[in-house]
Amino acid sequence: MAELKTKANNNSVSEFINALTDERKRDDSFALCEIMEEICQAKPKMWGDAIIGFGDKDLVYPDGRRIDWMVMAFSPRKQNLTLYLEGGSTHPLLSKLGKHKTSKACLYIKTLKDIDLDVLRQIITDANV
């Protein structure tokens, strides 16, 4: 079985965010860190090279394989802020969130100014399982 590439590491979250060249992405990333840390009650840590995760959980696959994983996470990608939230891509409040896109497992937001932060907080709160 292939080794998991996305693992928690000791790289600095603040150094990673401060290295972002897009000021808006930097500001939004620090804001998302504050929101997720408050809701998840866990400090952010880097997972791989570009994912900021919060909390720890034991993820069990249908075949019984277990891995250490984060409760929630985000990554400031070039095009969007990508949020990895349990149920976040199918949440019933998405229609009230504002400008966003979804995929099977991700919620994509271009900038926090395009969305309702109270709705996002509720979606993140509901994902904190």
Domains of the chain: 13-127 (3.90.1150.200)
pLDDT digits (tens, 9 = 90+) for 5-56: 788 899 999 999 999 999 999 999 999 999 999 999 999 999 999 999 999 8
The label of the residue with tokens 């969130």 reads 97
**Average pLDDT of the residues of the chain:** 92
Written as six digits, the tokens of 6 are 């996305």
* Tally of residues, the chain: 129
Q: How far apart are CA 17 and CA 22, in angstroms?
A: 10
Please, are residues 121 and 39 in contact by the beta-carbon 8 Å criterion? yes
